[in-house]
Amino acid sequence: MSFPETRPRRLRRTEALRRMVRETTLSVNNLMYPLFICPGKGVRKEIPSLPGQFHLSVDELDREAEAIAKLGIPSVMLFGLPEKKDEVGSDAWHNEGIVQRAIRALKKATPDLMVAADCCLCEYTSHGHCGILLDKKSGSVDNDSTLENLARTAVAQANAGADIVAPSGMMDGTIGFLRDALDEAGHENVVLLSYAVKYASAYYGPFRVAADSAPAFGDRRSYQMDPANLREAIREVELDVEEGADMVMVKPALPYLDVVAEIRREFDVPVAAYNVSGEYLMLKAAAEKGFLDYDRAMMETLISVRRAGADLIVTYHAKEAADLLSKAP
**CA dist 58 → 4, 48, 62, 258, 309 (Å):** 62, 20, 8, 38, 34
Q: What does the pLDDT profile of the chain (329 residues) look like in tens digits? A: 555 556 778 888 898 888 888 899 999 999 999 999 999 999 999 999 999 999 999 999 999 999 999 999 999 999 999 888 888 888 888 999 999 999 999 999 999 999 999 998 888 887 767 777 776 665 677 778 888 989 999 999 999 999 999 998 778 899 999 999 999 999 999 999 999 999 999 999 898 888 677 666 656 667 788 999 999 999 999 999 999 999 999 999 999 999 999 999 999 999 999 999 999 999 999 999 999 999 999 999 999 999 999 999 999 999 999 999 999 87
Answer yes or no: are the C-beta atoms of 307 and 326 closer than 8 Å. Answer: no
Specify the pLDDT at position 136.
Answer: 65
Specify the pLDDT at position 321.
Answer: 98
Burial class (CB in 10 A: 0-12, 13-18, 19+), 193: buried
> Which are the catalytic amino acids?
198, 251
Question: How would you write 49-85 as a 3-class SS string?
Answer: CEEEEEEEEHHHHHHHHHHHHHHCCCEEEEEECCCCC
Burial class (CB in 10 A: 0-12, 13-18, 19+), 49: middle
What CA–CA distance (Å, rounded) separates 56 from 40?
9
What CA–CA distance (Å, rounded) separates 140 from 133?
6
Specify the pLDDT at position 90.
Answer: 81
The count of other CB atoms within 10 Å of the CB of residue 184 is: 11
Answer yes or no: are the C-beta atoms of 233 and 259 closer than 8 Å. Answer: yes
Considering Cα of 70, then 314, then 195, then 216, what sign does the dihedral take? negative
The count of other CB atoms within 10 Å of the CB of residue 285 is: 11
What CA–CA distance (Å, rounded) separates 243 from 50?
35
User: H helices then E strands: how many in the chain?
Assistant: 11, 12
Specify the pLDDT at position 22.
Answer: 87
Specify the pLDDT at position 219.
Answer: 66
Q: What is the pLDDT of residues 164-204, one digit of tens each?
A: 999 987 788 999 999 999 999 999 999 999 999 999 999 99
Specify the pLDDT at position 1.
Answer: 54
Burial class (CB in 10 A: 0-12, 13-18, 19+), 295: middle
Domain 11-327 carries which CATH code? 3.20.20.70
Rounded to two decimals, the pTM is 0.93
Torsion angle (degrees, nearest 10) of CA 257, 263, 265, 266: 160
Torsion angle (degrees, nearest 10) of CA 71, 312, 207, 316: -20
Answer yes or no: are the C-beta atoms of 225 and 236 closer than 8 Å. Answer: yes
Kindly list the domain boundaries of the chain, sorted by start residue: 11-327
199 has which bridge partners?
225
